[in-house]
Amino acid sequence: MNPSLCHFSEYLQFDDSVFGHRRALIRVNYINHSLVDNELKKLIKERPLRARGFAPKLSDAEVITMDIVGEFMGKNTDKGIWQYFKTHWQAWFPGLGSRSNYVKQSANLWQVHQQIQQVLARQLSAFADPIHLADGFPIPVCHFKRARSSKVFRGIATYGYCASKEETYYGFKGNICVSLEGVITGMTVIATHIDERESLYEIVPGIQGLLLADKGLIGQRIIKKISGWRLVLTCRPIQGGNMTASRGKDANR
């Protein structure tokens, strides 16, 4: 593991006290300049993010830093992250303006987010972990009753069924793979009508050892696709009575 990222989770401990915010300022400054800024410079060295126009007041490194810290703190909405930094850290992020500008800039950096996340995951030795867990989850884009009239992702989102919740929803289906420490090593989004087993092989490259997953994610086809990788597939028991195992014994090898 990279020494600079050792005990990363302990390093990023925040509290709402005055001293807690002051300590957090120093930590955020370190993340911005020592981690995000350095990696961003490497990524855009050969391919700049912008070919013309003025540079944004809030730098891309600052936006990505805010996103990383905000997500780590459990602030899972753009509004929550923006509001927290606007309230407590405006002096350290003088270019932070309106929420809409921040959200727009952050959304446009989604590919950079993914690349930097992968870099941080490698530095945290997440891919070398001997055990990983994979699971699928529904991503509804609106309430089911509003699906027909909704214009959100029209033509892209589809109808699907979530067996664990026993409900039909409108949106997408996500697959995620994490290390035993909880660090994300892979994630993908597919249409809800596509078998989630088809996307599993997209999120497991680079890992090795044991992969734990539900029976719904494991089958002969995925086993053949990753047969040359250093990976052993297994499954955890299906919980509850709403999901039954309909596959043969050889599907769980």
21 pLDDT exceeds 70?
no
Copy the structure tokens of residue 48.
């700049």
- Concatenating the DSSP letter of every residue in the chain gives --GGGTTHHHHT---SSHHHHHHHHHHHHHIIIIIIHHHHHHHTSSS-S-SSSPPPSS-HHHHHHHHHHHHHTT--SHHHHHHHHHHH-TTT-TT---HHHHHHHHHHTHHHHHHHHHHHHHHTT-TT-SEEEEEEEEEESS-GGGTTT--TTTTT-EEEEETTTTEEEEEEEEEEEEETTS-EEEEEEEETTS-THHHHHHH-TT--EEEEE-GGG--HHHHHHTTTSSEEEEEPPPPSSS----S-GGGG-
* Mean pLDDT estimate for the chain: 76
The percent of residues above 70 in pLDDT, for the chain, comes to 71
HEC letters along 167-215: EEEEEEEEEEEEECCCCEEEEEEEECCCCCHHHHHHHCCCCCEEEEECH
20 pLDDT exceeds 60?
no
Q: Could you tell me which of 169, 76, 66, 152 has the C-alpha nearest to residue 109? A: 66
pLDDT tens track for 34-63: 678 788 888 777 677 777 778 889 989 889
243 pLDDT exceeds 50?
no
pLDDT tens track for 142-174: 888 888 888 888 888 889 888 778 888 999 999
Report how far residue 17's alpha carbon sits from residue 26's, in angstroms, rounded to the nearest whole number: 15
98 pLDDT exceeds 90?
yes
229 pLDDT exceeds 70?
no
The percent of residues above 90 in pLDDT, for the chain, comes to 14
pLDDT tens track for 111-143: 888 888 888 888 888 999 888 888 888 999 988
Q: Which amino acid is at 91?
A: A
Q: Dihedral (C-alpha) 160, 198, 116, 131: value to the nearest 10 degrees?
A: 110
